[in-house]
Amino acid sequence: MLARSGRTSFLLASARSWTTLLVGTRLVRPLRRLTASVRRPVDQQGRVPVGARDEIGYLAVALNDLFDRRETMEAQRKALVSDLAHELRTPLTNIRGSIEAAQDGMTPTDAQLLEVLFEETSLLQRVVDDLRDLAAADTGNLRLHPEYVYLNDVLTQVADAHRGIAESQHVRLSTDFTVDPQLSVDPVRLRQVVGNLVSNAIRHTGENGVITLRTAATHDQFTIEVADTGTGIAPADLQRIFDRFWRADSSRSRTTGGSGLGLAIARKLIEAHDGRITATSRLGVGSTFTITLPRARQAPT
Ligand SMILES: Nc1ncnc2c1ncn2[C@@H]1O[C@H](COP(=O)(O)OP(=O)(O)O)[C@@H](O)[C@H]1O
Ligand SMILES: [Mg+2]
């Protein structure tokens, strides 16, 4: 009797250890495969195989998602470096070309040459300044110097500064202010943002077009609108205009634009003010850029 029960418990124990071994192997094997995939050098890292729909399977899916995101970031980084090189190369080539032509006696060393050199170096300066702003925003070091200013004063300054160039292109720049709150904002930065919106609008609006600067209020925010009757932006492009270096016209020349960083910086600057910036557009009809600023920025009365 004793011997039988001893055998039974021996059999039971060995069955249990077989089960443990089996379960252990089923658990450990896929985990080992995952670990091996993750340990591979970055450039050889593919996707990890997704096995059963259990916790390990979910872990594999999460890892693949992480790999995908890293790949996207890497692609963006490479594109940024290549765009940057392109952006700096164009003005540098022009500067060098102009100087060489003058040295060879092909063109005179005169005021016109200085004008070209000045414009090209200004373009370089703008790209570098824009990059500095973006880098500061990325590292959380974008410093605002807020003060209470009347919103319409800032917008009027921007309109006045751009009226000459607008008129020279037969574009009317008008204002339509329905409110004039006193807000705590960085006036230099707000001028920079609205100035970029207005100069973009001028650049993309043909003769007899109109650009309107509007202010309005809702129960919880103030809005600034820059509306134009210009070329408009294709729906697919509208998603990308706030991306760094993105421009509908990829031929980058002095006449067709700035650095392609303006809207990326505008978004960072407005977000630093707890606001938002969005765009709507219809091809051939025009575009409207809207900035919203929270009512919390209003001066206490
Ligand atoms: N008002 C507008 N109308 C049409 N396209 C616009 C307008 N504003 C911006 N865009 C498009 O968005 C792109 C990015 O603008 P931005 O970031 O300011 O760079 P940049 O002005 O240096 O080209 C522009 O190159 C243009 O293609
Ligand atoms: Mg711009």
Which residue's CA is the closest to the ligand 1 atom numbered 9? 200
From the CA of 263, how far away is ligand 1's center (Å)? 7
**CATH class of the domain defined by 82-138:** mainly alpha
Given a cut of 80, whether residue 145 has pLDDT beyond it is: yes
- Which of 42, 45, 192, 58 lies closest to 130 in space, CA to CA? 192
Higher local confidence (pLDDT), 301 or 263:
263
Q: How many angstroms separate the CA atoms of 214 and 179, rounded?
A: 9
- The secondary structure element, H or E, covering residue 23 is helix 2-39
Instruction: For CA atoms 236, 240, 242, 246, give the dihedral sign.
Output: negative
Q: Where are the domains of the chain?
A: 2-68, 82-138, 147-297
What pLDDT sits at residue 277? Answer: 98
| Residues whose beta carbon lies within 6 Å of some atom of ligand 1 | 196, 200-201, 204, 228, 230-231, 233, 241, 246-249, 257-264, 287
Q: How does pLDDT run across 99-129, given as a tens digit for each residue?
A: 999 999 999 999 999 999 999 999 899 889 9
Taking the C-alpha atoms of residue 284 and residue 286, their distance in angstroms, rounded to an integer, is 6
| Structure-block tokens of residue 94 | 């022009």
Q: How far is the CA of 103 from the centre of ligand 1 (A)?
A: 37
Q: Judge whether 164 and 172 are in contact, CB under 8 Å.
A: no
Beta bridge partners of 150: 182
Q: Which of 263, 267, 283 to mutate to test the pocket of ligand 1 (most atoms within 8 A of CB)?
A: 263
The architecture that CATH gives domain 147-297 is 2-Layer Sandwich (3.30)
Segment 208-227, tens digit of pLDDT: 999 999 999 999 999 999 99
**Residue identifier of the C-alpha nearest atom 27 of ligand 1:** 248
Considering every ligand atom shown, identify the ligand nearest to the alpha carbon of residue 242 and give its number.
1
What's the pTM value of the predicted model, to 2 decimals? 0.77
pLDDT in tens, 36-61: 888 888 777 777 778 778 888 888 88
Looking at residues 297-301, what average pLDDT do you find? 92
Mean pLDDT of 261-268: 94
Give the Å distances, CA to CA, from 13 to 9, 21, 89. Answer: 6, 12, 76
pLDDT of 257 above 70: no
Residue 2, pLDDT > 70, answer: no
Task: Kindly tell me the number of DSSP H helices and DSSP E strands found in the chain.
Answer: 7, 7
* Ion ligand 2, residue ranges at CB < 5 A: 196, 200, 258, 262
Average pLDDT of the chain is 90
Over 70: is that where the pLDDT of 256 sits?
no
Q: How confident is the model at residue 22 (pLDDT cuts 50, 70, 90)?
A: confident
Is 198 a residue whose pLDDT tops 70? yes
